[in-house]
Amino acid sequence: MAQAQTLSRNQQIVLDIIEKAKGPLKAYSILYNVQKKGINAPQQIYRALDKLIEMGKIHKIESKNAFVACRSSDCEISKATAFSICESCEKVDEVSDAKLSKYLSSFNHKKGMKFKRFNLEFFGLCKKCK
C-alpha cells in the first residue's frame, strides 16, 4: 500500500533511463544523460532516486553506488533485496529466489534483533566471464 503510483516528471525521466540501461547506473552518469531534458543539478537526481527507491521501483547497489531497476516482484518495496554482481564485466542481476527470500526474512539474530529488511550482494563471475 501507500505508493502514489503516479510519478512526477523528474522521477519518470530518471526511472526511464535506469530501466533502459543494461547495467547499474551511477547518479552522476544519470545526471549527464538528462541534462538535455533540463535537469541540471545532482539534487534533482538524488531526490528522484530517493523516491524511486522508497517506491521499490529501483534499488541501490551499495557496493557500487549505483542504481538498477527492480525486475522482481518478491522484493516488496525494497525490504528484501539480493543481487549477483560479476566482478569482471560488472553485470548485475537481481536474484529473485523465493526460498532465499523466505529464509532471510525469517532469520533472526541470536542477540534479539528483529529485522525489517535486508540486502544481499553476491560476487563472482557471471556465466559469460567464468
Partner DNA sequence: ATCATGGTGTTATAATATAACGTTTGTTAT
Partner DNA sequence: ATAACAAACGTTATATTATAACACCATGAT
Q: Which set of grid coordinates corresponds to residue 55?
A: 517506491
Q: Which is nearer to a copy of itself, 21 or 104 (CB)?
A: 104
Size of the site for Zn ion (CB under 5 A): 9
47 forms part of the interface with DNA (CB under 7 A): yes
21 binds, among a copy of itself, DNA, Zn ion, none (CB under 5 to 8 A by kind): none
11 forms part of the interface with DNA (CB under 7 A): yes
- 111 in helix, strand or coil? coil
Q: Which string of b and e fits 103-119 if b means at least 16 CB within 10 Å?
A: ebeeeeeeeeeeeeeeb
Site for Zn ion in 63-82 (CB under 5 A): 70, 72, 75
In sequence order, the 6+-apart residues with CB closer than 8 A to the CB of 106 are: none
Site for a copy of itself in 63-122 (CB under 8 A): 63, 84, 86-87, 93, 95, 97, 100, 103-104, 107, 109-122
Here the contacts of 70-74 (C-beta below 8 Å, separation 24 or greater) are 70/94, 71/96, 72/96, 74/98, 74/101
Q: Enumerate binding residues for Zn ion (CB under 5 A).
A: 70, 72, 75, 86, 88-89, 91, 126, 129
